[in-house]
């Protein structure tokens, strides 16, 4: 599915993300490496940092969703599956470190058969 299902009025909406992933907005914040207030205060939800982190998380989950058959399973992978070549870190841990581009490149490489 597209990114629009996670957005409201042109911004990524933590509540919509939480509903799709069957969790809480606070958990979405932690998963994206944000503080709880980043998803509770309207001005913080609109901030560039919050929106960037939410977008990165959603892009990664969307990119692997076809492999897992659902957004929920892709989200579980994002949170828990250690990635080869990243010292056993998960996609979630790498996003928290600001390394989302490396994960997207890794997924593209896997799709291209480089790590097959």
Average pLDDT over residues 79-108: 94
**What pLDDT shows up at residue 12?**
93
Residue 76 sits at φ, ψ, to 5 deg, of -65, -40
How many whole angstroms from its chain centre is CA 74?
9
Average pLDDT over residues 42-53: 91
The pTM assigned to this predicted structure is: 0.89
Sorted by sequence, the CB contacts under 8 Å of residue 13 that are 6+ apart come out as 6, 7, 45
- Checking if the pLDDT of 113 tops 90, the result is no
Measured distance CA(91)–CA(13) in Å, rounded: 20
């Amino acid at each position: 599915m597209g990114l629009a299902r996670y957005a409201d009025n042109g911004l990524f909406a933590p509540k919509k993300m939480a509903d799709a992933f069957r969790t809480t907005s606070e958990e979405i914040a932690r998963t994206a490496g944000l503080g709880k207030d980043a998803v509770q205060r309207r001005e913080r939800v609109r901030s560039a940092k919050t929106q960037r982190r939410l977008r990165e998380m959603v892009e990664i989950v969307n990119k692997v969703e076809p492999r897992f058959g659902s957004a929920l399973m892709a989200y579980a992978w994002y949170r828990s599956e250690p990635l080869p070549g990243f010292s056993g870190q998960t996609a979630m841990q790498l996003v928290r470190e600001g390394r989302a581009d490396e994960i997207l490149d890794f997924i593209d490489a896997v799709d291209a058969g480089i790590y097959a």
